[in-house]
A and B are shown apart, each in its own frame.
Chain A
Amino acid sequence: MSTVKAASPLSPPSRLRRRVDPVKIASFITLVITTFLMLLPLFFMVSTSLKSKREMLKFPPTFLPESWAWSNYTDIFETLQFGTLYKNSLIIAGFSVFGTLLSSALVAYGFARYRGRGNNFWFILLLSTMMLPYPAIMIPQFVLFSKMQWIDTFLPLIVPAFFGSAYNIFLLRQFFSTLPEELFDAGRIDGCGELRMWRTIALPLSAPALATVAIFAFIYSWNDLLTPVLYLSSSDKFTLPVGMASLTSSRFRIPPWHLLMVASVLAMVPIVTLFAIAQKQFVEGIVLTGIK
């Protein structure tokens, strides 16, 4: 009796036997090669950042540093006021994220919860501002901010975020639209005002979407070069990108590649950290808000 049982795993019907799919093997090999190519620059970024001044000029480049120059990572804070750059960028990005979240969530809620004639008009207008290239408006903005005496302050880099950004409003609106109406009906019966429903019902349910927007806003502010180049003139107010861009300038006869790579690695740290923390919510947020 038990023989029947023992025999079955040995003889699966050949039709169902798992065949190795040639397409999958080809895909796997392609992925290995492309991933290698994609990661190689990053690998060299980190490895060069740990090389000595002499070794960075070697050709062919050494894969791993011969002697690990960890001191590069402290040197950069002394020679290039890297700490100040970092702090400035963090302050600006922090306020920008806060401003974007607050105003975009508010505006998106307004667009998601009210469906009327005027609403549609404003929403299309909002979408069309996504196509508006920043360079097209940068000169009058510059004139405006210089009249307000905001040049060489962080204000031009922070204040606009508090008025919402089209892309993020669009994402959040898509998300808010998926929240079931019954929730808000229940809130209304309990006597909630709209602002309270926004705060107590819509926002808590939107963590993935809000995390996505926060990440977008942070990356945007953290990487922006053009705006701070326009508005910041004294070097103790520079953001990270502006300070780093000045590293390639003629100050050095030979670019200090090892220090440039240290700067690049350090500039990446906050973004990678953010992703590591919020990755799950981020991917979920992209799927849920249906960027399409």
Chain B
Amino acid sequence: MYLFISPWLIGFLIFALYPILSSLYYSFTDYDIIHPPKFIGLANYTEMFHNELFWRSVKVTLRYTFISVPVQLLLGLGFALLLHQTIPWRGFFRTAMYFPSMVSGVAMSLLWYWIFNPQIGLFNYMLSWFGIHGPAWLMNPDTALYALIIMSFWTAGSGMILFLAGLQGVPASLIEAANLDGAGRFRIFLNITLPMISPVLLFQLIMGLIDSFQVFTQAFVMTQGGPNYSTWFYVYNLYTSAFKEYRAGYSSALAWILLIVVMLFTAVIMKLSNRYVHYEGGSRR
């Protein structure tokens, strides 16, 4: 067995364990990557908690996460439920919904950079159909973050695919039985479908949170964290401190806080979900 898993074991040591531990060490040092690190104790951490940009990045990231992740999950689930029925053109709809997810990353950021352009972009043009005069989305500190949140809904199709796979795993016999017992659609959804797909939901919730804490591309390509730091995402802050200001020690402290927060969120969700998430066979694993 160890022969087979050795590639991962070696990789784990070199690319995960060693970096995590040395990043913990760096976080207690003054380090510019060129000169050797100088130990300064907790100074990075105390500075962080007094640093306005740190708190700004936390606020921006949390606000983005708490709106974008739940809405994306709901949209993905909603689309999947609609498409799980026998409906004309089902294959077409499924492909069409998933298509935007293939444009991820920089291409998507460029496209939406144009869509949100206040003068010539598609978004304000469509709003004008309804007599709404749209704002200068990405150039306005009040709207820039919301523009990025709206953009994130566009890829709900990738979640939809996973939900569809989950829905296929719900035994038809259970639903038929409930139907015979006179349960309505809504009851069936609440009492059978939802518990049966709850592992998919949990998986996507955790992965969605982790991804969302790491938003970088949008900030890098579209806004550079602006205007007026309104899209100053946590990882963008971390990247800037390390590779623009050459403060790798401070940045490592940021990295460790990120790691701790991700672990905390995951642990809390797992703990809470134990009561609600249904695994076939009764117990996990």
Residues of chain A touching chain B, judged by Cβ–Cβ distance below 8 Å, are 23-24, 27-28, 30-31, 34-35, 38-42, 44-45, 48, 56-61, 103, 106-107, 109-111, 113-114, 116, 118-119, 122, 125-126, 129, 131-144, 146, 160, 162-164, 166, 169, 194, 198, 219, 222-226, 229-230, 240-241, 244-245, 247-248, 255, 257, 260-261, 263-264, 267-268, 271-272, 275, 283, 286-287, 290-292
B252 at the interface (CB under 8 A from A): yes
**CB pair A38 B97 closer than 8 Å:** yes
Number of residue pairs A-B, CB distance < 8 angstroms: 262
**CB pair B262 A133 closer than 8 Å:** yes
**CB pair B154 A109 closer than 8 Å:** no
**CB pair B11 A164 closer than 8 Å:** yes
Q: How far is the CA of A44 from the CA of B123 in the complex (A)?
A: 11
**CB pair A135 B238 closer than 8 Å:** yes
Interface mask (B127-161 → A, CB under 8 Å = 1, otherwise 0):
01000000000000000000000000010010001
> Which B residues touch A219, using CB under 8 A?
102, 104
> Which A residues touch B125, using CB under 8 A?
59-61
Interface segment, one of B41-49, B64-72, B173-181, B215-223: B215-223
**CB pair A109 B4 closer than 8 Å:** yes
**CB pair A248 B16 closer than 8 Å:** no
Q: How far is the CA of A264 from the CA of B200 in the complex (A)?
A: 31
What residue of chain A has the Cβ atom nearest to residue B109's Cβ?
A245
Q: Tell me if A's interface is mostly helix, strand, loop or mixed.
A: helix
> Which A residues touch B105, using CB under 8 A?
222-225, 241
Q: How far is the CA of A114 from the CA of B4 in the complex (A)?
A: 10
Most central of A23, A48, A131 by chain B CB within 10 Å = A131
Nearest CB of chain B from residue A129's CB, rounded to whole Å: 6
> Which B residues touch A23, using CB under 8 A?
85, 185
> Which B residues touch A146, using CB under 8 A?
33
Q: How far is the CA of A126 from the CA of B238 in the complex (A)?
A: 26
**CB pair A131 B263 closer than 8 Å:** yes
Q: How far is the CA of A261 from the CA of B106 in the complex (A)?
A: 11
Task: Say which residue of A42, A109, A226 sits within 8 Å of B239 (CB atoms).
Answer: A226
Task: Say which residue of B85, B93, B107, B113 sits within 8 Å of A255 (CB atoms).
Answer: B113
**CB pair A292 B15 closer than 8 Å:** no
Chain B interface residue count, CB cutoff 8 Å, equals: 91
With A38-B97, A135-B239 already in contact, the answer to whether A261 and B162 are too (CB < 8 A) is no
**CB pair A133 B213 closer than 8 Å:** yes
**CB pair B8 A223 closer than 8 Å:** no
Residues of chain B touching chain A, judged by Cβ–Cβ distance below 8 Å, are 1-5, 7-12, 14-16, 18-20, 22-23, 26, 33, 79, 82-83, 85, 87-88, 92-93, 96-97, 99-100, 102-115, 117, 119-122, 125, 128, 154, 157, 161-162, 165-166, 168-169, 185, 197, 199-200, 203, 206, 210, 213-214, 216-217, 220-222, 235, 238-239, 242-243, 248, 251-252, 255-256, 258-259, 262-263, 266
What residue of chain A has the Cβ atom nearest to residue B237's Cβ?
A135
Q: How far is the CA of A230 from the CA of B238 in the complex (A)?
A: 13
Q: How far is the CA of A8 from the CA of B200 in the complex (A)?
A: 47
Q: How far is the CA of A227 from the CA of B252 in the complex (A)?
A: 17
With A131-B263, A261-B111 already in contact, the answer to whether A292 and B22 are too (CB < 8 A) is no
**CB pair A136 B20 closer than 8 Å:** yes
With A133-B210, A140-B22 already in contact, the answer to whether A225 and B220 are too (CB < 8 A) is yes
**CB pair B33 A143 closer than 8 Å:** yes
Top 10 closest A-B pairs, CB basis? A163-B11, A110-B4, A223-B105, A137-B19, A114-B1, A140-B19, A264-B107, A241-B106, A110-B5, A140-B22
Q: How far is the CA of A229 from the CA of B220 in the complex (A)?
A: 10
**CB pair B162 A291 closer than 8 Å:** yes
Q: Tell me if B's interface is mostly helix, strand, loop or mixed.
A: helix
A and B contact pairs by CB, cutoff 8 A, 18 listed: A28-B88, A31-B83, A41-B100, A44-B114, A56-B120, A57-B120, A107-B5, A110-B5, A139-B23, A142-B33, A162-B11, A222-B105, A225-B105, A226-B235, A263-B107, A267-B106, A275-B102, A290-B169
Q: How far is the CA of A119 from the CA of B115 in the complex (A)?
A: 50
**CB pair A268 B258 closer than 8 Å:** no
With A44-B122, A109-B4 already in contact, the answer to whether A223 and B203 are too (CB < 8 A) is no
> Which B residues touch A106, using CB under 8 A?
4, 7
> Which B residues touch A24, using CB under 8 A?
85, 87
**CB pair A110 B255 closer than 8 Å:** no
Nearest CB of chain B from residue A182's CB, rounded to whole Å: 21
What residue of chain A has the Cβ atom nearest to residue B254's Cβ?
A135
With A103-B7, A264-B111, A291-B162 already in contact, the answer to whether A139 and B248 are too (CB < 8 A) is yes
**CB pair B114 A287 closer than 8 Å:** no
With A27-B87, A131-B210, A133-B213 already in contact, the answer to whether A38 and B157 are too (CB < 8 A) is yes
With A34-B97, A261-B114 already in contact, the answer to whether A42 and B103 are too (CB < 8 A) is yes
Q: How far is the CA of A134 from the CA of B235 in the complex (A)?
A: 10
> Which B residues touch A267, using CB under 8 A?
103, 106-107
